[in-house]
Amino acid sequence: MTKLLREGPCVYLSGGVGGAKLALGLSSVLDPSSLMIVANTGDDFEHLGLTICPDIDTLAYTLGGVANTDQGWGREDETDSFMSALADLGGETWFFLGDRDLATHIERSVRLASGETLTSITAGLCSRLGVRCQILPMSDDPVRTLVNTSSGLLEFQHYFVRDRCEPRVLGFRFMGAEQAEPNAHVLRALSDSTLRCVIIGPSNPYISIDPILALPGLMEALKDIKAPIIAVSPIISGRAIKGPTAKMMRELGLSVSVQQIVKHYEGLIDGIVVDTSDVSALDIIDKDSIEVRSMRTLMSNLEDRAELARSVLKFADYLSYKCTGALSVQE
């Protein structure tokens, strides 16, 4: 057990599926009051008249124990009557919405229309699902990721789901980010002198983390903090576990490597967690500017998630001790 002077919150920046796995690990080893999960909302979109927040929902369902862990999105024990009837009516069916999942989108949309903030709505959803730690949207203002592709500028879900990531990626734009205010709860946590650490999840840096970092003042707030900032690499042995990260990196002319992830977060992170299979990376990364730890980052079950969470936190506490002299005693 670790006793900390920095016994404040751990702020965890997360995207969708990969991010949610480590979120579950962190929630299983941290007191709920010590974990603040910041969800990317750049993936959000308006569809069938509803506001859909895929990353928030994946986090909430995962931590609420109702996620469909096989497919990585949506709810377990789901039914598809709505979708089947919508297809019969000639409606838009490229984005699958399960019957249970639909309740989340409708309830959220009703509350947004009534003027409730996404933060408050998300808190309500989490409370109903029995999620005890905080899941916060990165902002209450809409930010929408656009993907510049060989087929033109696409809304993120059009690129991601409808077009199955097939168009070649040229770049990204985070519409609304410049005008959006970062979530005040997040800014407050980052300025908390007891902040334990900031962890960047093993999510896609370009579409899951960058929208968060694009919010005005957020990068500055992160650079101001004394607590360590650690990223968990989403790349293992030159491949992404899930999703289009590796394909995107190649299309952007980047090497699909841990080094590239480090380069992406250069000047921001104090430490990087790489997979044990990427030990070769340890030699290449400039260890004067950044600490590297190799761990088993592939998370197949809850014990994997908890183990990685414990190791990442231990790494953070080590960095905290080393960099800032904060007391971190392994009992």
With CB under 8 A as the contact rule, the residue among 5, 29, 106, 146 that binds a second copy is 106
Considering only 13-21, 98-106, 174-182, 190-198, which stretch makes contact with a second copy by CB under 8 A?
Answer: 98-106
x/- map, 38-67, a second copy, by CB under 8 A: ----------xxx-----------------
Q: Which positions ≥6 away from 15 have C-beta within 8 Å?
A: 39, 40, 43, 55, 201, 203, 204, 207, 208, 209
Using the structure block, give the residue that is written with the tokens 């002077």.
Answer: 5
User: Quick one: DSSP state of residue 257?
Assistant: S
Q: Does 287 bind a second copy (CB under 8 A)?
A: no
Nearest-angstrom CA–CA distance, 223 and 244? 29
Considering only 107-115, 150-158, 194-202, 214-222, which stretch makes contact with a second copy by CB under 8 A?
Answer: 107-115
With CB under 8 A as the contact rule, the residue among 27, 40, 104, 320 that binds a second copy is 104
| Closest CB to a second copy among residues 125, 154 | 125
Q: Does 100 bind a second copy (CB under 8 A)?
A: yes
Distance between alpha carbon 102 and the CA centroid of its chain, in Å?
A: 22
Of 14, 130, 144, the closest CA to residue 67 belongs to 130
Structure tokens at 246: 């590796």
Q: Does 88 bind a second copy (CB under 8 A)?
A: yes
x/- map, 109-148, a second copy, by CB under 8 A: xx--x----------xx--x--------------------
- Report how far apart, in Å, the C-alpha atoms of 263 and of each of 19, 126, 273, 285 are: 20, 35, 14, 9
- Rounded to a whole number of angstroms, the minimum distance from the CB of residue 60 to a second copy is 11
Can you list the alpha helix ranges (DSSP code H) found in the chain? 17-29, 54-63, 81-88, 99-113, 118-129, 156-157, 184-190, 210-213, 218-224, 245-251, 258-264, 280-284, 302-324
- Rounded to a whole number of angstroms, the minimum distance from the CB of residue 117 to a second copy is 17
With CB under 8 A as the contact rule, the residue among 19, 54, 98, 205 that binds a second copy is 98
Q: Are 73 and 58 in contact (CB under 8 A)?
A: yes
Nearest-angstrom CA–CA distance, 226 and 299? 29
| Closest CB to a second copy among residues 94, 276 | 94
| Closest CB to a second copy among residues 135, 229 | 135
| Closest CB to a second copy among residues 86, 282 | 86
- Rounded to a whole number of angstroms, the minimum distance from the CB of residue 76 to a second copy is 12
Q: What is the contact surface with a second copy in residues (CB under 8 A)?
A: 48-50, 75, 78-79, 81-86, 88-92, 98-104, 106-107, 109-110, 113, 124-125, 128
